[in-house]
Amino acid sequence: MSNEEQRKALATLLGRVIPAEAEQLGRRFAAAGHELALVGGPVRDALLRRPVTDLDFTTDAPPNRVLEVIDGWADAVWTIGIEFGTVGLRKGEHLMEVTTYRSETYDPKSRKPDVSYGTSLVEDLRRRDFAVNAMAARLPSREFVDPFGGLEDLKAKRLRTPGLPEDSFNDDPLRMLRAARFASQLGFTIDPPVLAAMREMADRIEIVSAERVQAELSKLLCGAYPRAGLAALDVSGLAAYVLPELPALRLEIDEHHRHKDVYEHSMIVLDQAIAQEEDGPDLVLRLAALLHDIGKPRTRAHLEGGRVSFHHHEVVGAKLTKKRLMALKYSKEIVTDVSRLVELHLRFHGYGEGEWTDSAVRRYVRDAGHLLPRLHKLTRADCTTRNRRKADRLAKTYDALEERIARLAEEEELGRIRPDLDGDEIQEVLGIKPGPLVGKAYKFLMDLRLDKGPQDKEAAKEALLAWAREEGVL
């Protein structure tokens, strides 16, 4: 196929995925004397035959001129990114962003980029992170523009920068994380010179805000190939700055103290957790699977006979998880849920061959709360033994625990367990006013409920009065 035939074929392919609204927008810009091109991710995904959702455009028109062109045509407009040259809009069901040709550079000590506008589409593409994202389709003509070999990189499944990677990463250090993220999302390999530059410049990531790092890490973890992305973070040295607990999992193994490679174990647990997902990527579950053993390096102890212990690593790991996720500016809900899963991930191993009482099962359910379905998945994923007989035994034991939980849930509505007396009734029985004592009494009754199951009101009152006498309240 000649170059001209290939361009026509690509224009036809892009025409199938570019919505009519995009071509309408291209005609408006052309009528106003300006260029417009679909650029970056949408073009890449169209060529990969992946779904194209949000549409990104670039233009020679400055932001204020963009506002004039779309006035009266867009259904909604927002200008939150206008200082960086970006105008957002909605037309029908399509979300679009139009960005003026530009370049970004970071001062060595600044986390905020300096933005300057340009007049050339090719120069705008030159500043982009990777060649596979430096392709464009001019509108309304659909002319395919690929000055840096992005199409060949797509075929080779390769991540390469349009220019020197050192220049690219110096302009925007976040691009190093984006390389790892695209390795996860697309399954592409990172070109050796790019990886070498990432190793050399990894410390530059420290000038990027925690919020932007977190966004890239979340996308990486929710990609189709998260292990590839995490491996890129590890081998490039970036993990030492954004997730230092990850390389720390590579515990030293010597001839006298042999034990599992905790890093590899964690990767397998992540894979096995993902295999249980039902409604797409679950960021909380994936974070918990990745971080569940990060307390091991801090708690490792060598015992006689070459044995190794990690006592209370789940408790230490929960604290480390909370600290790391807070530093990455994750939401309070994600921090709480992930650290709780890390704390609880070993609880099942006290179940033995089913020795737990119904009280212990109730506590397991109560402590997990809304995280119980995820805890089930994490606990099952944490079995990475190569001993098939042992793995089958653990699976059957957990099956039995889930069956007990289901039976008790049906009998007692475990998800809504409450003490048999509420706060008002506690105050009435003990003749006290609202205060800390009511909370202590409530906790006593909750423990009683978990230990013995449902009680009638009279039995609960008698137990509460007996407790109060022992506590010296009455």
pLDDT tens for the chain, residues 1 to 474: 466 666 666 766 666 778 889 999 999 999 999 999 999 988 998 888 888 778 999 999 999 999 999 999 999 999 998 988 999 999 999 999 999 998 666 666 665 666 678 889 999 999 899 999 999 999 998 889 999 999 999 999 999 999 999 999 998 999 999 999 999 999 999 999 999 999 999 999 999 999 999 999 999 999 999 999 999 999 999 999 999 999 999 875 543 344 468 899 999 999 999 999 998 999 999 999 999 999 998 877 767 766 766 778 988 999 999 999 999 999 999 999 999 999 999 888 777 666 788 888 888 888 898 999 999 999 999 988 778 888 888 888 888 888 888 887 776 555 566 777 788 888 887 788 888 888 888 888 887 777 777 778 888 888 878 887 887 776
Query: What is the predicted pLDDT for the residue at 5?
Result: 64
CA 232, CA 262: separation in Å to the nearest integer? 18
The answer to whether the CB of 288 falls within 8 A of the CB of 345 is: yes
CA 131, CA 146: separation in Å to the nearest integer? 8
Query: What is the predicted pLDDT for the residue at 460?
Result: 80
Give me the residues paired with residue 90 across strands: 76, 95
CA 191, CA 293: separation in Å to the nearest integer? 31
Burial class (CB in 10 A: 0-12, 13-18, 19+), 360: middle
CA 383, CA 380: separation in Å to the nearest integer? 6
Q: Is the peptide bond before 454 cis (omega within 30 degrees of 0)?
A: no
Both tokens of residue 206?
A: 């420290």
The answer to whether the CB of 158 falls within 8 A of the CB of 195 is: no
Both tokens of residue 287?
A: 């974070």
Q: Which long-range contacts (CB under 8 A, 24 or more apart) does 344-352 make?
A: 344/314, 344/368, 344/371, 344/375, 345/288, 345/292, 345/314, 345/375, 345/378, 345/379, 345/382, 346/314, 348/379, 348/398, 348/401, 351/397, 351/401
The answer to whether the CB of 273 falls within 8 A of the CB of 286 is: yes
Cα of first residue to Cα of last residue in the chain, in angstroms, is 94
The answer to whether the CB of 133 falls within 8 A of the CB of 103 is: no
The answer to whether the CB of 179 falls within 8 A of the CB of 214 is: no
> What does the longest C-alpha to C-alpha distance in the chain come to?
95
Q: What residues contact residue 327 under an 8 Å CB cut-off, 6+ apart? A: 210
Query: What is the predicted pLDDT for the residue at 50?
Result: 82
Q: CA nearest 170: which of 102, 237, 106? A: 106
The answer to whether the CB of 79 falls within 8 A of the CB of 44 is: no
Strand 55-59 with 94-100, pairing:
parallel
Cα-Cα-Cα-Cα torsion 222, 228, 232, 238, nearest 10 degrees, comes to 30
Both tokens of residue 404?
A: 């007990």
Query: What is the predicted pLDDT for the residue at 257?
Result: 41
The answer to whether the CB of 63 falls within 8 A of the CB of 56 is: no
Characterise 472 by phi-psi region: left (phi > 0), alpha (psi -120 to 50), beta (else): left
Residue with tokens 């523009």: 145
pTM score of the predicted model: 0.81
From residue 106, give the alpha-carbon distance in Å to each of 26, 121, 212.
Answer: 32, 22, 14
* Beta-strand runs (E) in 305-402: 308-309
CA 436, CA 422: separation in Å to the nearest integer? 14
The answer to whether the CB of 161 falls within 8 A of the CB of 131 is: yes
Where along the chain do the CATH 3.30.460.10 domains lie?
1-155
Tell me if the domain spanning 1-155 has CATH number 3.30.460.10: yes
CA 165, CA 190: separation in Å to the nearest integer? 11
Q: Tell me, what amino acid is at 331?
A: S
From residue 46, give the alpha-carbon distance in Å to each of 10, 13, 17, 126.
Answer: 10, 8, 7, 20
Burial class (CB in 10 A: 0-12, 13-18, 19+), 10: buried
Quick count: other Cβ atoms within 10 Å of Cβ 206?
Answer: 11
**CA 32 to centroid of chain Cα atoms:** 42
Query: What is the predicted pLDDT for the residue at 362?
Result: 83
Both tokens of residue 302?
A: 């060598």
